[in-house]
Amino acid sequence: MNLEQQLKTVTDTIEELKGEDIVTLKILEQSADIEAIVIVTGRSVQHVRSIANNLKIEAKRLNMKMLGIEGTETGHWVLIDLAEVVVHIMTEKTREFYKLEKLWSGLENT
């Protein structure tokens, strides 16, 4: 599965569950390990966990490589590492606090 197919799978799964403010950053030139980052907001801790769980199920169903998942215990920020794509699912407060998009400022949003 190429990068575009992976990103489509991730964003389609997130959109199915009404994830909000989806941002995709292609960072291949800035990172040797990761090709893209997807950042999304969930409306609540339960919503964040639900998006993460469904994304995990869909990735497994499509035999996507999953290196790890962290943060499901608290549910304020769940990180899913799909090797080439890393997904950050956050509550609104957490996303506003950490401002991940600004860490990668200057990168092209897609």
Other C-beta atoms closer than 10 Å to the C-beta of 73 total 8
**Number of domains the chain is built from:** 1
> Does 109 map to a domain?
no
Q: Is residue 9 part of a domain?
A: yes
In a domain, 35, yes or no: yes
Could you tell me the residue range of the domain that residue 38 belongs to?
A: 3-103
Is residue 51 one of the residues assigned to a domain? yes
* Domain-embedded: residue 69: yes
Here the CATH number for the domain that contains residue 63 is 3.30.460.10
| pLDDT tens digit sequence for 7-47 | 999 999 999 999 999 999 988 777 777 899 999 999 999 99
Per the domain annotation, does 18 fall within a domain? Answer: yes
Answer whether 24's CB lies under 8 Å from 73's CB. Answer: no
12 vs 14: CA distance, rounded Å: 5
CB within 8 Å of 6: residues ≥ 6 apart: 36, 64, 82, 84, 85
Chain segment 85-96, per-residue pLDDT in tens: 999 999 999 999
Q: What is the pTM of this model?
A: 0.91
Nearest Cα residue to 60 out of 77, 80, 39:
80
